[in-house]
Chain A
Amino acid sequence: MNKFWLITSHTYLTKLKTKVFLISTILILVFMLVLVNFESIIESFEGDEETKVAIIDESGELLDDLSLLPSTGGDSLIEPYSRTLEEGKSQVLQGEYEALVTINLNDEGLPEATFYAKNITDAELQMEIQQKLQQLKITIATAQLGIDEAAMAEVFSPIALDKITIDDSGKSEEEMNQARGIVYMMVTLLYIAVLMYGNLIATDVATEKSSRVMEILVSSVSPITHMFAKIVGIALLGLTQIAIFALIAIVMLQSKQDQIGGLIESFGLHNASFSILLYGVLFFVLGYLLYATLAAMLGSLVSRVEEANQMITPIMMLIVVAFFLAIFGMNVPESQIVTITSYIPFFAPMLMFIRVGLLEIPIWEVFLSVGILVGTIILFAVIGAKVYKGGVLMYGNSSSLKDIKKAMKLTKKE
């Protein structure tokens, strides 16, 4: 096995066995499980009891119409209540009813209502009652105007609006939804990967440096080999973690197909456009490489592990900015700020991907952006390798970005 793969596999395997990896994987899995089963978890706390709402018809004219109240939709059971308001209130306080509603007719002969409850925090119930009363009102109002129900249904049926792109190369609505789903997923994935694994690279390099094992390592293999082997090793670790999540996600989805199948479809993961996925992988790899190289370089400058986090803060800020720009850009992919930032290397992996995914842009623009990105990666790799080579031999009290210059001086001839 050559030395590159030896370091890569060593990095991968030792990190794989650490508690941090295990715990972070489990935590994220738990988070995923909770997220997917959120509704059923909430329900299980609420129990199966039906919410009963009492209704008093003060006008005495609406009692017949109360049967018009829609029975479907919502979980509450509305019961006509024949005793007094005061009695009703005390029954609400005792918990026999969730709420009490009084309904009356105003001067124009339209219903108005008052909602009494122990507290008015249950917005869901209020909304439900309001919707039901709204329908009651519409029914009464239209009856007063002499419009029959069939006509009513027609008035309220939604307008048919077909969205068709005239430009042949433009994306259809369905394609747009799919593209948006993939773009969203990839951008988020890159964001999380850079945050998590960039940090891991920097601390790993700092750990080897602070334990002083680094000098032995770089006397056996060139620092450049060491740096890139480290970056690849952590990347493999990241892919392993992502693969675990993907696998679990697929299993979960299959067991709950009916519940969230619709959600997935609206995200456009079925029939995913192959070329967008390919671009996604390309920009993901390039984005990771750019940030990982920077993280390794900065990690090599600190003398103590605790300082690593502080050192990589600037690049973490960059990825956060890139992510927010991307989220903003998803809604307005044609805006100028998205166009400009899609050529700036730190933002390009996310913003050019948005443009390529959501818009039809000339291929040369993509090539230009990728070219700038690759050029920057190579530049940073060359600088990073130099800084790394000097940095791993440099021990000092304070660590700051000024040390980049110092480290590069150390690798020079004089």
Chain B
Amino acid sequence: MTLLLKNVTKRFGKHTAVNNLTLEIPENEMFGFLGGNGAGKTTTFRMILGLLERSSGDISWNGEKIDYEKSSIIGYLPEERGLYPKLKVKEQIVYLARLRGMNKREAADELQNWLERFEVPEYIDKKVEELSKGNQQKIQFISAVIHKPRLLILDEPFSGLDPINVEMLKEAVVDLKNQGTSIVFSSHRMDHVEELCEHVCILQKGTPVVQGSLREIKRSFGKKNLIIHADIPLDFLRDLHGVVRYKQTMEGCLLQITDENVSQNIFSELQGKGFVRKFELEEPSLNDIFIEKVGARYE
């Protein structure tokens, strides 16, 4: 059960929205899709769902074409949230679930379970417009997963939620993954992707710039972060060989260095200069990688 995108390209007239994207998302895996605004994430999702025709390339699920026959195994949470504002939660979730091939009773039972899991069982007979935005989002999430899809596409699933609700939804997503659902999700929040995904792809204006397993990406990135807390001025480190970036912090500075050997030079430079409270070498964060890969091309 793998989702396969092969050399997928989407052009709108002269504008290329997605350029030669190849992805493989295995079962039981959560795949992180990153990119700035307008990078082509939503367009890719819409092509996977068949809402947009691709200009070239192939998309298949388990070797088969994805069409409306498969809508019962696919779940989708669009970035632009939307439900019928005037309908009650139960009416619309049951309707949407039936469109995904569930029967009425199953859908009602599952909805009950999900509402209890999200600690909002009292919403079942409320109109959507009466709910807060965060709670509407929970309902929307339920509509995407209620039919136990094999492939789940989540476009910015955690945006606009408070930390408690983010945790609640994250847990639900991880559970679904463990039950065998393949999940593709996009986010601006690097920390969420870092926490949840084994594989990622960073899109930059439609072109994949980084792609692969998160661990591999970090290792091959090479650069490390160095955190120093000290009572002395650290400005002079800025010009040292092997220092890529220098950022002043409250208690010292944060350096990005080309490789871990550079840290040894810095360590010896600091010796005898004064009191150093913290000296820590760190793996680069996805955020650093994103900014470097995407930011560089913006210039």
Residues in chain A within 8 A of chain B (CB atoms): 1, 3, 6-7, 10, 14, 208, 211-222, 225, 389, 393, 409-414
Contact = CB atoms under 8 A, between A and B. Distances in A.
Given A221-B68, A409-B13, A414-B11, A213 B99 contact: no
B81 A212 contact: yes
Contacts of B80: 212, 215
Q: Which 5 residue pairs of A and B lie closest in terms of their CB atoms, listed nearest first?
A: A212-B82, A414-B11, A220-B99, A414-B55, A213-B82
Interface string B92-108: 10011011100000000
Contact of A410 (B12, B87, B95): B12
Interface stretch (B44-52, B115-123, B178-186, B252-260): B44-52
A277 B96 CA distance: 40
Interface size class of B (residues with CB under 8 A): 20 to 34
Interface stretch (B70-78, B208-216, B281-289): B70-78
B84 A219 contact: no
Given A221-B99, A409-B13, A216 B55 contact: no
A7 B98 CA distance: 10
B46 A216 contact: no
Contacts of B83: 211, 213
Given A393-B52, A409-B12, A413-B53, A211 B76 contact: no
A413 B11 CA distance: 7
Interface string B34-75: 000000000000100101111110000000000010010010
B78 A216 contact: yes
Interface in B143-176: 143-144
Given A217-B99, A220-B99, A413 B54 contact: yes
Contacts of B85: 211
Contacts of A411: 52-53
B53 A412 contact: yes
Given A6-B99, A222-B68, A414-B13, A212 B78 contact: yes
Given A393-B51, A413-B54, A219 B76 contact: yes
A312 to B, nearest CB: 22
Contact of A219 (B10, B13, B71): B71
Contacts of B74: 219
Contact of A221 (B46, B71, B144): B71
Nearest to B48: A219
Contacts of A220: 68, 71, 96, 99-100
Contacts of B12: 409-410, 414
Nearest to B100: A220
A216 B79 CA distance: 11
A168 to B, nearest CB: 57
A409 B55 CA distance: 12
A195 to B, nearest CB: 24
B62 to A, nearest CB: 19
Nearest to B81: A212
A376 B45 CA distance: 35
A218 B100 CA distance: 11
B13 to A, nearest CB: 7
B152 to A, nearest CB: 12
B53 A3 contact: no
A6 B98 contact: yes
Given A216-B143, A219-B76, A411-B53, A211 B82 contact: yes
